[in-house]
Structures are given as C-alpha cells and as structure tokens.
Amino acid sequence: MNEQLDATFHALADPTRRAMISRLGQGERSIGELAEPFAMSLWGAAKHVRVLETAGLVTCRKVGRSQMCRLRPNPLAQADRWLRQWERLWTNRLDKLEALIEQEKESK
C-alpha cells in the first residue's frame, strides 16, 4: 500500500519519465517511439518504461515485434489523493480547486 505510493512518486521524480507520461497521454506508443525524443539508447528508455510499468502507471502489450505502452489511471489518483490531503489542510477552501484548474490550462 505504501510501497505503491513510493513507487508512484519515485517514477514521477524523473523528467524523462514524466515526459513519457505526457507522450502517452496522447495515445499508445511503442518503446521506440517513447525513446526517440531523448538522446538515449533504446535500452535506457526501455528501463524507464519498466519503472513506470512496475509502478503500475503504464501497461505494455506485445504487438508484433513492438511493445505498445499505454497509461493506467488508478495509481496517479492515489498519489493525487495523498497530495490533496495536505492541500486541504493548508487552504481550508475546496473551491480553490477552480483556480488551480485555470493555472493548469496555461502551464500545458
């Protein structure tokens, strides 16, 4: 249970892996496609994908000679829940959520 949070936050702590998640947000991608934007070997990228996979953030399935990866929703929701616990403590105002969603638009 706590290990899940460990793995999730650890997986998110690397900019390469966050970029991969962003990429996967646009749809299924192969490991090669995920590796391509980075100056990194294929095997290096595959290890990042493996971290995301063992953290439960991503699932992969074999399609021909490619490994197609896609996002899984549940684990981030758990991490988000943990964070929001503190946000609530600080703000004490739930309708601040609206303002955050506005900021999110311009940051993406």
Partner DNA sequence: TCAAAACACAACCATTTGGTTGACTATTAA
Partner DNA sequence: TTAATAGTCAACCAAATGGTTGTGTTTTGA
What does the binding site for DNA look like in residue numbers (CB under 7 A)? 10, 13-14, 16, 30-32, 35, 39-44, 46-48, 51, 60, 64-67
Query: Which DSSP letter does residue 24 get?
Result: H
Torsion of CA 11, 98, 100, 59, to 10 degrees: 20
Residue the block writes with tokens 């998640």: 21
C-beta separation of 23 from 35 below 8 A:
no
Site residues (CB under 8 A) for a copy of itself, limited to 26-45: none
Interface contacts to a copy of itself, rule CB under 8 A: 2, 5-6, 9-10, 12-15, 18, 21, 25, 71, 73, 76-77, 79-91, 94, 97, 100-101, 103-104, 107-108
